[in-house]
C-alpha cells in the first residue's frame, strides 16, 4: 500500500511525552515537564525533543558509528546533534527543514532548508541507513485537523524512505495519534520487517504524539514481469 497523501503537508512544530537518564519524580508519579527543557540546555541541545530520540535509540540501538542519517523536520537541530555523536566522524547527518537551522553544524552534519511538501521527488538527495522524522504541523487546536496534517507529514516521510532508505535500514517517524493511525501503521508494516510504537517519556503529558519505528526496510518489490507476446 502506498501511503495515502491527500494534500500538501502542514508546517510548524509540536508534539510531546518523555525519556533520559536522570528524571526527578513529580508528585503523583509523573515528571516535571520543564525538566527535559533544562536538561537539554545543560547538555547543549536546542530542544527537549532530543530526549525522545535518545530514549528510542537507547532501547532499540538504532544509531551506530559510520551510518548515514537523514533527519526530516530537523529544526532547531537537537536530533541532528544527537545523531552526529552516535554516528561519529565516519558517519554523516543531513538535516532538512522548511525553517532555517541556525546552530553551527558539527563537521559530520549538513543542513538543507526545503519544504518536503513541495519536493515530491527527493531521490537525488542520496541514500541513507536511517531516516528520522520529527516533522509536525503548526497545531491549530482543532484536534482532528492537526492529526490529519500530522498523518500527511508522516506519509511524506514514508515516501522519502521509499526513495532514499537503503534495504535493511531503519525509520523513526512522529505521528499524532488519531483516526488515520491504523493506516500509518499498516503502511509502515508493509515497508519494514518489524514495527514498534513508542511514547517517549520526554513527550508532554497533554500530547497525543507517538513514534512509529520501522526496523529492517524490505527490499522494493520486484516489478511485474512483462507479459510474453503471442
Q: Among 20, 39, 49, 202, which residue interacts with ligand SAM (rule: CB under 6 A)?
A: 49
Q: Among 38, 89, 112, 115, which residue interacts with ligand SAM (rule: CB under 6 A)?
A: 115
Give CA–CA dist 157/180, Å, rounded. Answer: 15
Q: Is 9 among the residues that bind ligand SAM (CB under 6 A)? A: yes
Contacts with ligand SAM: how many residues (CB under 6 A)?
Answer: 27
Q: How far is the CB of 164 from ligand SAM (least distance, A)?
A: 14
Which C-beta is closer to ligand SAM: that of 162 or that of 193?
A: 162
Q: Among 57, 97, 180, 201, which residue interacts with ligand SAM (rule: CB under 6 A)?
A: 97
Q: Is 73 among the residues that bind ligand SAM (CB under 6 A)? A: yes
The question of whether 174 is a catalytic residue gets the answer yes
Q: Is 173 among the residues that bind ligand SAM (CB under 6 A)? A: no
User: Which residues within the stretch 186-215 sit at the binding site for ligand SAM (CB under 6 A)?
Assistant: none
Binding site for ligand SAM (CB under 6 A): 9-13, 15, 46-47, 49-50, 73-79, 97-99, 115-117, 134-136, 153
Amino acid at each position: 500500500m502506498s501511503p495515502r497523501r491527500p494534500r500538501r503537508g502542514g508546517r510548524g512544530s509540536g508534539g510531546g511525552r518523555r525519556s533520559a537518564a536522570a528524571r526527578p519524580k513529580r508528585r503523583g508519579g509523573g515528571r516535571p515537564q520543564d525538566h527535559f527543557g533544562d536538561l537539554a540546555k545543560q547538555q547543549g541541545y536546542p530542544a527537549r525533543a532530543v530526549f525522545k530520540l535518545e530514549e528510542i535509540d537507547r532501547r532499540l540501538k538504532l544509531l551506530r558509528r559510520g551510518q548515514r542519517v537523514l533527519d526530516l523536520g530537523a529544526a532547531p537541530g537537537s536530533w541532528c546533534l544527537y545523531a552526529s555523536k552516535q554516528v561519529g566522524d565516519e558517519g554523516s547527518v543531513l538535516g532538512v527543514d522548511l525553517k532555517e537551522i541556525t546552530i553551527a553544524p558539527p563537521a559530520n552534519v549538513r543542513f538543507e532548508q526545503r519544504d518536503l511538501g513541495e519536493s515530491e521527488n527527493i531521490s537525488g538527495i542520496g541514500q541513507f541507513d536511517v531516516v528520522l522524522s520529527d516533522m509536525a504541523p503548526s497545531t491549530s487546536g482543532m484536534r482532528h485537523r492537526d492529526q490529519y496534517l500530522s498523518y500527511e507529514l508522516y506519509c511524506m516521510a514514508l515516501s522519502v524512505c521509499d526513495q532514499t532508505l537503503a534495504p535493511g535500514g531503519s525509520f523513526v517517524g512522529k505521528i499524532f495519534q488519531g483516526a488515520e493511525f491504523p493506516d500509518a501503521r499498516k503502511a509502515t508494516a508493509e515497508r519494514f520487517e518489524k514495527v514498534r510504537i513508542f511514547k517517549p517519556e520526554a513527550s508532554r503529558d497533554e500530547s497525543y504524539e507517538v513514534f512509529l519505528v520501522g526496523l529492517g526496510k524490505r527490499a522494493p518489490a520486484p516489478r511485474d514481469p512483462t507479459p510474453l507476446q503471442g
